[in-house]
Amino acid sequence: MSPTVSNVTAADDPILVQRAKALRIANLGQRIGYLLYGIAIIVFLIGLMTDFNGTVSAIVTFGVIAGSVVLAPAILAGYAVKAAVRDDLEHGRDIG
């Protein structure tokens, strides 16, 4: 009896394992990116209420730039994994 696509489990399929790993990394990147944005906003608001000096400006700038560098690829990777899962479902392939 030849194996069918529906008999393949997530543990057996290296593509599904790699896709799950990519989704975990993308989710972590999104959390870190949004955390950096949040820190930048909080420090900016604290700087407005107190003395807005060079340190505050440097932290806000770093938070926005680092958040963008981390968040943009993470969002794209998340959408790519979701699109691959949707494509598998539309074509009747088992996704584990």
Question: Mean pLDDT score of the chain, rounded to an integer?
Answer: 88
By the 8 A CB rule, do 54 and 9 touch? Answer: no
pLDDT of residue 9: 61
Average the pLDDT over 43-48 and give the result. 96
Q: What is the pTM of this model?
A: 0.79
By the 8 A CB rule, do 27 and 78 touch? Answer: yes
Phi-psi region of 48 (alpha: psi -120 to 50; beta: other; left: phi over 0): alpha
By the 8 A CB rule, do 31 and 75 touch? Answer: no
pLDDT of residue 91: 87
pLDDT of residue 5: 46
Residue 59 amino acid letter: I
